[in-house]
Amino acid sequence: MLLSVIVPVFNEEENLPVFLHRTGDALKAMSDLCDFELIFVDDGSSDFSRDIIRKAIADDSRIRLIALSRNFGHQAALSAGYEISRGDAVVTIDCDLQDPPEVIQDLVQAWLAGADVVLARRRKRSGESMFKLSSAAIFYWLLARWTDNLIPRNVGDFRLLSREALEALMTLEESSPFYRGLVPWIGFEQVQVEYDRDPRHLGTTKYPLRKMLNLGIDGVTSFSDRPLRMMSLAGLFSVLISGAGGVYLIISKISSPNDSVSGWVSVVLLVLLFGGLQLFSVGLLGIYVSVINQNGKKRPRFIVWKKESENSA
């Protein structure tokens, strides 16, 4: 049996040497379970990441490199790795060493026990700031509220898929795939393996707040129309409140014409209320229309610049 390990890379020259060493040792320790191929997907790195991988390819024929023509993003890099993988099972893992390569053996054992999808669930997240932990908690809370609880908490992109599950996943033709939601959506027998997440080895995170927000928007818009329904309910509630306020002002004008305020404050407040509600609703609709537009263009998720292995070197 062959195991494909897919590693997206974006400017990780500091971490790659240690990652290669630890991952190589972890995979060699599993030689009695399966063979492996190690696929690096360079997502438009501007440092020496590709050179480090090329050197590793010269030393080990089981290492492969696919270089994208520019930075397409983490999920697109995973797509590229999924498409060229040849294994009976596929593991995806980042190379910042927050997800320990040694846990791969636990994922493989769960797969050999019969699971088609093995999700690595973070039991503890060491070395992360309070802001990161809080934003992650809010992220998963919103997804649970707005996506019918398909997406398990504290589960990222460190996972194993059987070949059958991967083929089912690759039939989905979304231009901006959100694999944390798509993998639970396809079904199959799924289990979780818990582990303690380590601090980032070196360097800075490649997932700043902007990318996390974009990932969250992709997750919500891909799996739920509840925000649109909420805006409809908010609009109805605003109409009811405004109607009640209008009735109150009319009654006040009739019952106490001399004491009633001329009304410019209430008018301004109502205009601001409805104007803000309309702008927010239009913006929300625009996000969904943008998603439809992107899917309608049928652009590829990524463009491959070159593929490299010992055989092609």
Q: Which of 69-73, 108-112, 151-155 has the highest mean pLDDT?
A: 108-112
Residues 6+ positions from 286 with CB-CB distance below 8 Å:
none
Residue 154 and residue 219 share a domain: yes
Residue 248 and residue 125 share a domain: no
Among 173, 190, 224, the domain-final residue is 224
Task: Write out the H or E segment, with its range, that includes residue 251.
Answer: helix 226-255
Residue 268 and residue 249 share a domain: yes
Task: Provide the residue range defining the domain that includes 189.
Answer: 2-224
Mean of pLDDT values over 232-237:
67
Number of alpha carbons in the 13 Å side-chain half-sphere of residue 10: 18
Domain assignment present for 218: yes
Confidence (pLDDT) at 211 = 66
Task: Write out the H or E segment, with its range, that includes residue 64.
Answer: strand 63-68
Mean of pLDDT values over 298-302:
60
Mean pLDDT of the chain: 79
Using DSSP's 3-state secondary structure scheme, residue 148 falls into coil
Confidence (pLDDT) at 193 = 92
Q: How confident is the model at residue 174 (pLDDT cuts 50, 70, 90)?
A: confident
Confidence (pLDDT) at 199 = 76
Lowest mean pLDDT among 27-31, 102-106, 149-153: 149-153
Confidence (pLDDT) at 71 = 87
Mean of pLDDT values over 216-222:
66
Tokens 């997206």 correspond to 8
Using DSSP's 3-state secondary structure scheme, residue 236 falls into helix
Lowest mean pLDDT among 18-32, 184-198, 242-256, 294-308: 294-308
Per the structure, the count of domains in the chain is: 2
In total, the chain counts a number of residues equal to: 313
- Alpha-carbon distances of 130 from 126, 127, 136, rounded to whole Å: 11, 10, 10
pLDDT at residue 217 greater than cutoff 50? yes
Using DSSP's 3-state secondary structure scheme, residue 3 falls into strand
Confidence (pLDDT) at 313 = 44
Task: Indicate the residue type of 213.
Answer: L
Residue 280 and residue 215 share a domain: no
Confidence (pLDDT) at 207 = 62
0.85 exceeded by the pTM? no
Residue 154 and residue 121 share a domain: yes
Mean of pLDDT values over 15-31:
91
Domain assignment present for 302: no
Residue 230 and residue 215 share a domain: no
pLDDT at residue 186 greater than cutoff 80? yes
Lowest mean pLDDT among 36-45, 186-195, 273-282, 293-302: 293-302
Q: How far apart are CA 281 and CA 69, in angstroms?
A: 37
Q: How far apart are CA 78 and CA 19, in angstroms?
A: 18
Residue 270 and residue 163 share a domain: no
Q: How confident is the model at residue 278 (pLDDT cuts 50, 70, 90)?
A: confident
